[in-house]
Chain A
């Protein structure tokens, strides 16, 4: 019994280090989106990924809901193909974005949705995103959650959920990835 706490601490330390490495990918993801490096962005996602943005902030899961976005990997690659294909009118001119990601914390309450892919950890943060397009600045805010796992030594996104504040109000052009 005397040695037990030491073992726990060591395990916690390792877990924390690994968790930090995993969580770091969410900042990289934001940078790739803001830099419009969409092919690299798509590579962060696992083959069994889901990318979900509900209209209803409280939607319990995506399959039975109307969503702003509900992509598997194939549809996410379609999205990227449009963004990089040169024929995407509502991204001509392209949106320029910067995003502030708040403190990234472990997702304490994962809610009722379990993404289909296996994940090691889940994180959540508030975000604020500013989009510039045609000399107009548009602000978006909300909460983003990521489910992550390590694949071939690198952190990958198993699922990303974006809850957009005011998704039910009239929206204009959300054709850049949130």
Chain B
């Protein structure tokens, strides 16, 4: 393996530091796509995006255009969006419903599970074996409680093994509806930043940055709440924890430190007085308090390596575009069957922080931009050793202070192990 794609060249495990070229090198990026994105499980869709037979959404997996569909039998199918004849895509819309995908170039027709069922003017072919000319499929698909994961690697470990310690928190996210299903019923918003995908990966469970990168957010929220320490649940003296969960997954657990901050924050939303008045007639006081607080956040940020993060009420998918360009998709989840006011609060809370005009995420993107600019200087290393002296537990189930860089180290170690495997 050349230095250019050797993980040991980029990650100095002993010193917990990363070389700047890990965020810049196109050659390394290509190797990451092959050794990570083509080898491990990727989050692809939420089943509620395609509830009925024939429903589909187009998306990408490791750069490849794919169509995720609900088959007539109710299963999930994923095909690569490319006619086997001469290359044209067979499905054009972001979402829709179709019985078949027909290539409009020369009329070849496929089932949404990929089988080639129709070739036009077939007498022009002396012989054609349709069974070998289906749309390319994805070797492995597993649906964990409506979360659709897929892998290009037919030998990939079972999904639940991959999820490791993250499964417990994925379950908590899914169960936050209190037995009612979470649904992706309000679309997906996309943000882009001029920087490497791992900047977003590192940021999702970075408990050190909020009080600084999101200073103005906590200032205006604190001002509205008459509370000048509104970010302290993530501060240096917070009781919140960072944890590694195995396989590069991690959480920031703020459940013990946040108090009633989320509930108060939720009620700053437009129309909230009217909503709360209505809710008083619809749900009990206890459930109302819980649903309002959880309309902001469940108290933990979860990263499932390499492309999924659950933060606030949304599913976040990291979409690498190149070594220095990334798109991030945000799909806020509402709860099917709660009073509409609760779902309004969930949407308000989401757009307050995560919208392109929101009070939170644009400041993260600005930091990614500034990091990308800083990488052009002569300094070689980015430092990730904060809190290394106070980690408790072993590598796969370690705990540290919320502001420590344990999650980032766990992500990088798993990154290195996947990048390394090809060496053998």
Contacts and interface: CB of A to CB of B under 8 A. Distances in A.
Interface in B207-246: 213, 215-217, 219-221, 223-224
Contacts of B223: 78, 81
B227 to A, nearest CB: 14
Interface stretch (B42-50, B129-137, B362-370, B376-384): B362-370
Nearest to A65: B186
Given A75-B270, A172-B193, A66 B220 contact: no
A173 B351 contact: no
B362 A175 contact: yes
Interface in B356-403: 356-357, 359, 362-363, 365-367
Given A66-B186, A89-B367, A175 B192 contact: no
A72 interface: yes
Contacts of B417: none
A75 B223 CA distance: 12
A89 B366 contact: yes
A31 interface: no
Nearest to B215: A87
B190 A82 contact: no
Contacts, number: 108
Nearest to B340: A64
B161 interface: no
26 contacts: A55-B189, A56-B187, A64-B186, A64-B347, A66-B187, A66-B351, A67-B355, A68-B356, A68-B357, A75-B268, A78-B221, A78-B223, A78-B224, A78-B359, A81-B220, A85-B216, A88-B216, A89-B215, A89-B366, A90-B362, A168-B189, A171-B190, A172-B191, A173-B366, A174-B355, A174-B357
Contacts of A85: 216, 219-220
Contacts of A173: 356, 362, 365-366
A74 B224 contact: yes
Nearest to B319: A170
A87 B191 contact: no
Given A55-B189, A66-B350, A89-B216, A174 B356 contact: yes
Interface string B336-361: 00001001100110111001110100
B183 interface: no
B363 A168 contact: no
Contact of B362 (A63, A74, A174): A174
A70 B362 contact: no
Contacts of B27: none
B204 interface: no
A50 B270 contact: yes
A89 B186 contact: no
B351 A63 contact: no
A124 to B, nearest CB: 21
A171 B187 contact: no
A164 B287 CA distance: 37
A65 B347 contact: yes
Contacts of B187: 55-56, 66, 168
Contacts of A64: 186, 340, 343-344, 347
A53 interface: yes
Contact of A172 (B192, B219, B367): B192
A178 interface: yes
Interface string B266-301: 001111000000000000000000000000000000
Contacts of B215: 87, 89
Interface string A33-56: 000000000000000001001011
B190 A170 contact: yes
Contacts of A53: 357
Contacts of A75: 268-270, 352
A65 B351 CA distance: 10
A69 B357 contact: yes
A55 B347 CA distance: 12
Given A55-B187, A63-B271, A171 B192 contact: yes
B191 A170 contact: yes
Given A71-B270, A168-B189, A87 B219 contact: yes
A87 B271 CA distance: 28
Nearest to B194: A172
